[in-house]
């Protein structure tokens, strides 16, 4: 996502029309990120609204020489994590019904025989049902890794955590999911 420097400059001057342009550019991205974390339309919209307020309040401190998207994403991720802490929310969906994002399912079920499409759909449903057992920090690293497509280094920057912690959290989250899937697949 590219945002023209002119839009950001106008936003820094609190130009209403510039904020409208900026938020139109980011509205789908932001909603998808928030919804993938909370799996609830109303909560996702509430979080998005809170992100917009934070962007409005802190845009004056944004360095125009830096790329805007990582700064915006960091605000969105932190707002999602704070929402989880504040509300003790327990269920999410990593792909929010999107067929274009199957990265996690493919990783968890690596090297699976492609006998039928039905098996893949069932696996995706099992992951959705069991993702709620992950800790919030594990949920977020998986969202950022598999649905945002960020590298370990980028996740480390967004979450302000050492890269080793990011790798550990991804590893632990995968293991919890694999264990829950094993339990769900034994009849």
List, by residue range, all CATH 1.10.10.10 domains of the chain: 91-187
pLDDT at 155 over 80: yes
What does the pLDDT average to over 10-18?
Answer: 92
Q: How far apart are CA 4 and CA 22, in angstroms?
A: 9
Please name the helix (run of DSSP H) or strand (run of DSSP E) that holds residue 147, with its range, or none. none
For 62, 74, 101, 150, 155, the CA distances from 89, given in Å and listed in that order, are 31, 20, 23, 24, 22
CATH architecture of the domain 91-187 equals Orthogonal Bundle (1.10)
List, by residue range, all CATH 1.10.1740.10 domains of the chain: 1-89
Reported as a single tens digit per residue, the pLDDT across 77-91 is 889 888 877 665 444
For 36, 44, 140, 177, the CA distances from 110, given in Å and listed in that order, are 22, 30, 21, 13
Neighbours of 151 (CB within 10 A): 12
Q: What is the pTM of this model?
A: 0.59
- DSSP 8-state symbol, 3: -
Task: Please list, in sequence order, all residues whose beta carbon lies within 8 angstroms of the beta carbon of residue 53, skipping any fewer than 6 positions away.
Answer: none
Torsion of CA 84, 85, 88, 92, to 10 degrees: 20
pLDDT score recorded for residue 11: 92
pLDDT score recorded for residue 179: 81
φ and ψ of 98, to 5 deg: -85, 125
Q: Which of 30-34, 55-59, 103-107, 149-153 has the lowest mean pLDDT?
A: 103-107
Greatest C-alpha distance within the chain: 61
φ and ψ of 116, to 5 deg: -150, 155
pLDDT at 100 over 50: no
Got the DSSP string for 84-110?
Answer: HHHH------SSTT-TT--HHHHHHTT
CATH architecture of the domain 1-89 equals Orthogonal Bundle (1.10)
Please name the helix (run of DSSP H) or strand (run of DSSP E) that holds residue 5, with its range, or none. helix 5-12
pLDDT score recorded for residue 176: 84
């Amino acid at each position: 996502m590219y945002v023209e420097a002119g839009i950001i400059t106008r936003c820094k001057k609190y130009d209403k029309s510039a904020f409208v342009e900026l938020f139109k550019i980011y509205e789908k991205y932001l909603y998808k990120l928030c919804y993938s974390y909370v799996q609830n339309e109303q909560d996702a919209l509430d979080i998005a609204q809170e992100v917009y307020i934070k962007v409005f309040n802190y845009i004056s401190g944004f360095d125009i020489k830096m790329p805007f998207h990582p700064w915006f994403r960091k605000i969105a991720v932190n707002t999602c994590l704070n929402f989880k802490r504040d509300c003790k929310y327990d269920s999410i969906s990593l792909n929010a019904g999107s067929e274009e994002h199957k990265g996690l399912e493919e990783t968890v079920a690596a090297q699976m025989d492609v006998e039928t499409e039905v098996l893949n759909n069932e696996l995706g449903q099992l992951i959705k049902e069991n993702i709620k057992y992950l800790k919030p920090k594990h949920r977020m690293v998986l969202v950022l890794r598999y649905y945002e497509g960020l590298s370990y280094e980028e996740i480390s920057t967004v979450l302000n955590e050492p890269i080793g912690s990011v790798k550990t959290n991804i590893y632990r989250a995968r293991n919890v999911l694999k264990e829950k899937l094993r339990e769900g697949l034994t009849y």
